[in-house]
């Protein structure tokens, strides 16, 4: 899935743990089951926290990449 195939976005750049995951927890509720949320972050701890969030809550982490200190994630909402 390319980085432009998403339905909603969460911009958590400039925020530090635990704020990005707390915001993700709220924002994922605004996305319909099956839709994709793109998350942008600058906190390196998101590379650990976001995959764990997805695993714990049953969402699908479609992609995770980093470029020049910016982390991008595509997450498919899989649970109600």
CA-to-CA distance for 67 and 35, rounded, in angstroms?
Answer: 24
Q: List residues with catalytic annotation.
A: 17
Set out the domains of the chain in order of their start, with CATH numbers.
Answer: 8-76 (3.30.110.40)
Strands 8-12 and 36-41 come out as parallel
CA-to-CA distance for 69 and 66, rounded, in angstroms?
Answer: 6
- On the question of pLDDT at 55 being above 60, the answer is yes
User: For the residues of 19-35, what is the DSSP string, one character each?
Assistant: HHHHHHHHHGGGSPTT-
Give the tens place of pLDDT for each residue, 12-53: 999 999 999 999 999 999 999 999 999 999 999 999 999 999
Strands (E), 1-80: 8-12, 36-41, 60-67, 70-76
pLDDT value at residue 79: 78
């Amino acid at each position: 899935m390319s980085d432009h195939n998403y339905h909603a976005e969460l911009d958590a750049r400039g925020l530090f743990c635990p704020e990005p995951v707390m915001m993700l927890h709220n924002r994922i509720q605004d996305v319909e089951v099956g839709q994709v949320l793109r998350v942008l972050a600058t906190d390196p701890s998101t590379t650990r926290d976001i995959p764990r969030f997805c695993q714990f809550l049953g969402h699908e982490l479609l992609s995770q990449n980093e470029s020049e200190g910016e982390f991008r994630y595509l997450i498919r909402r899989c649970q109600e």
